[in-house]
Each structure stands twice: as structure tokens, then as C-alpha cells.
């Protein structure tokens, strides 16, 4: 009986050592992992720190600077509205609807570009990021409305 307890203890010790090593490795990896820089979003502090940054940044490579900056300004406005608890939900909903519409326009222009890289980027964005953008915008509005006090 005593021998089997020692085997269990040894096995348990090995498993704890493996898990501890894995945990420490993950912590070291997290420490050295660098945050994305989002150079194109340098003028938009709130947007750069938000969940929208990852789906907005690829738009900067689609050679539509005016539409890109309009989208970024709308994103900043939505983020600021979402931060304010007494914000107008209708305005936030309008902006959350307008952002994907403007992005679709930007991507459509990119898809018809004469440059192959730009048109491929537009097609890739439609496939990979457009639905995520819609979801994030909807989540901003939902979270804002759920956190708001009741209007009773």
C-alpha cells in the first residue's frame, strides 16, 4: 500500500512540475509579446486602444484616405458616446450603422482599384473583417444601452 502512495505522489509531482513550467512559459511569453502599433491610427487615441483598432487598421492600406479618416472619426465618436453613461442611444445606433456602411463604400472602391494589391486587400477585408466590424459596432451600442440607467 505504501509503495502505491509513493508512485501516486511521484506522478502528481511530475504533473505539477509540467503545469508550473507551462504557466511560467506563458507568463514570459506575455511579457515579451508586443502590442500592435497601429501607425495609421496615431491621430485617434480612443480608437487605437479599442477593440475596433484591429479591424479598422487594414483599411489604411486601401488608398482611400478621405473615407478612411471619416470612418476613424465616426469610430472615435462611437467610442466617446459609449463611454458616457448619459449618451443618446439613438445617436450611437446611427453611428454604429453608419460605420459599416462607410467601410463597405471604402472597400468597394478598393476592390475596383487598378492596383492589384489594393483590390486583393479589399476582397480580403470583405471576407475576413466586415462581419467582425458589424458585430463590434453592435456590441458597443448594446453595451452602452445595457449599462445606461432606466428611463422610467
| Structure confidence by residue, pLDDT tens digits, 71-101 | 999 999 999 988 886 768 889 999 999 999 9
pLDDT at 124 over 60: yes
Q: 131 pLDDT exceeds 90? A: yes
- The dihedral built from the CA positions of residue 117, 131, 48 and 81, taken in this order, carries a sign that is positive
Query: From residue 50, how far is each of 38, 72, 131 by CA, in Å?
Result: 11, 12, 17
pLDDT of residue 96: 95
Give the pLDDT score at 151.
39
pLDDT at residue 30 above 90?
A: no
In the block, which residue shows the cell 483599411? 59
Q: Which residue has the cell 442611444?
A: 89
Instruction: Return the higher-pLDDT residue of 58 and 145.
Output: 58
Alpha carbons 57 and 39: distance in angstroms, whole number: 8
Kindly state the average pLDDT of the residues 126-143.
93
Task: Using pLDDT thresholds of 50, 70 and 90, give the confidence band for residue 150.
Answer: very low
Check residues 97 and 24 and name the one with the higher pLDDT: 97
pLDDT at site 29: 66
Per-residue pLDDT at 57: 93
Question: What is the arithmetic mean of pLDDT over 37-42?
Answer: 83
Residue percentage of the chain with pLDDT more than 90: 54
Q: What pLDDT score was predicted for residue 127? A: 93
Q: Does residue 22 sit in helix, strand or coil? A: helix
Amino acid at each position: 500500500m505504501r509503495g502505491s502512495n509513493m508512485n501516486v505522489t511521484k506522478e502528481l509531482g511530475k504533473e505539477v512540475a509540467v503545469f508550473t513550467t507551462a504557466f511560467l512559459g506563458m507568463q514570459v511569453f506575455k511579457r515579451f509579446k508586443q502590442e500592435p502599433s497601429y501607425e495609421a491610427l496615431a491621430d485617434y487615441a480612443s480608437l487605437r486602444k479599442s477593440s475596433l483598432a484591429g479591424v479598422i487598421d487594414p483599411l489604411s492600406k486601401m488608398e482611400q484616405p478621405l473615407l478612411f479618416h471619416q470612418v476613424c472619426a465616426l469610430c472615435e465618436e462611437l467610442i466617446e458616446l459609449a463611454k458616457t453613461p448619459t449618451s443618446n442611444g439613438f445617436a450611437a445606433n446611427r453611428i454604429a450603422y453608419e460605420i459599416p456602411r462607410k467601410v463597405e463604400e471604402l472597400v468597394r472602391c478598393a476592390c475596383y482599384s487598378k492596383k492589384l494589391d489594393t483590390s486583393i486587400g479589399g476582397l480580403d477585408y470583405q471576407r475576413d473583417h466586415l462581419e467582425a466590424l458589424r458585430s463590434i459596432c453592435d456590441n458597443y451600442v448594446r453595451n452602452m444601452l445595457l449599462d445606461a440607467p432606466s428611463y422610467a
